[in-house]
Amino acid sequence: MELNNYPLVSIGVLCYNTGKYTIEALECIKRQNYPNIELIIIDDCSTDNISVNLIRDWLQKNSDCGFDIKVNFRKKNEGVHSGLNEILEKSTGKYLNFISDDLWTDDKMVKQISELEKLGDEYALYYGKMLTIDKDSQLLKETEYQHYFPDDNELPKGYIFSYCVNNFS
């Protein structure tokens, strides 16, 4: 993929009382070696007196990061589904990624979008290997997914959403 052919990727960050971890996630986004990112941050009315200030500080320090950044500090807690829907509404990218208190490798977006561009428009969902970390972001174990699906080319119909919700939430 040539540099000028990178499609816009929207990255949605939904936060509720996860300040330190949200900042780590934002730093992972900033370190991506992918050049065309739109960042959408929704704080769902955090009550910990830390999260909003940390996010505001990060935004001020990183105003020149090169991303188009959209932010909403909600005045009322409306829940995860409402937050994800707001991210979907604000998103203008060809692709959409969600991150909350996760950490990404620096090349995650380049690898993921390169693969998605090869697959074509008939694919709507893409996921990859996960590493489990502790509260200090230290690696605990590497998770393998081969045993979940009998055939990599065909997922049971209707199963993918419950699989993602049950295994990644």
Per residue in 12-54, pLDDT (tens digit) is 999 999 988 999 999 999 999 999 999 999 999 999 989 999 9
Q: What is the pLDDT of residue 137?
A: 73
Structural tokens at position 109: 């977006």
CB 70 within 8 A of CB 40: yes
d(CA 95, CA 10): 6
Q: What amino acid occupies position 101?
A: D
pLDDT (average), residues 142-147: 54
d(CA 126, CA 147): 17
Helices 19-30 and 51-61, interaxial angle, to 10°? 20
pLDDT at 11 over 80: yes
Q: How many CB atoms lie within 10 A of CB 15?
A: 26
pLDDT at 169 over 50: no
Q: Is pLDDT larger for residue 139 or for residue 14?
A: 14
SS3 string of 2-30? CHHHCCCEEEEEEECCCHHHHHHHHHHHH
CB 77 within 8 A of CB 83: no
Q: Please tell me the CATH superfamily of domain 3-121, with its number.
A: Spore Coat Polysaccharide Biosynthesis Protein SpsA; Chain A (3.90.550.10)
* From-to residues of CATH 3.90.550.10 in the chain: 3-121
First-to-last CA distance in the chain? 32
- 107 Cβ contact partners less than 8 Å away, ≥ 6 residues apart: 32, 33
Q: Is pLDDT larger for residue 20 or for residue 9?
A: 9
Name the pLDDT band for 153 (thresholds 50, 70, 90). low
The pLDDT tens digits of the residues spanning 65-117 come to 999 999 999 999 999 999 999 999 999 999 999 987 678 888 889 988 988 88
Q: How many CB atoms lie within 10 A of CB 119?
A: 9
CA dihedral sign, ordered 59, 169, 38, 106: positive
